Amino acid sequence: MAEFGEQRTYRWAVERARELLSDRNPERYRWLDEELLRFVAQGIEALASVRPASRYLGMRLVRRVYPDIPPRDKVLPPNPTQAQVDAYEAAINDFADSPLLVDPQWHDALVEFACYKAYTMDQADAGNLAIAEKHYKKFLEDAAR
């Protein structure tokens, strides 16, 4: 667990989620960065609903604003130019490098929520649905800290 005051980024949460998802080969990622970033942001909202104190960082109430992270195929044209791809990826990287703005005691909960959402994308596979449920249970346990 991170020490109080240490702020990890969304990129840290995505990388940690990739470890738990065994999705470490950048040549063949199963989940895109923008998907996992979206799941982490959704995790912050889910955490706030089960743990209202997570809205505070130290003694300050934190107002969080998340950029819209639309799927790549919804933003880029069918045959995008390299400049269009670069601009989209730069926006994703800027967001990934922003701080989580959640007390470090709940960082692991956000990672578990991202894993839960990733596995629910594949819910037709009963095995993945069972794994998703385990990650959601872990999210709730970590949120209860």
pLDDT in tens, 8-56: 999 999 999 999 999 988 888 999 999 999 999 999 999 999 999 888 8
Contacts of 44 (CB under 8 A, 6+ apart): 54, 64, 66, 100, 101, 102, 110
Domain ranges of the chain: 10-143
pLDDT in tens, 58-116: 777 777 767 677 788 888 999 999 999 999 999 999 999 999 889 999 999 999 999 99
Contacts of 96 (CB under 8 A, 6+ apart): 9, 10, 11, 14, 33, 37
Its pTM stands at: 0.86
The tokens of 29 are what?
């990622």
End-to-end CA distance of the chain: 12
122 close to 51: Cβ distance less than 8 angstroms = no
The tokens of 15 are what?
């990388």
DSSP state of 28: G
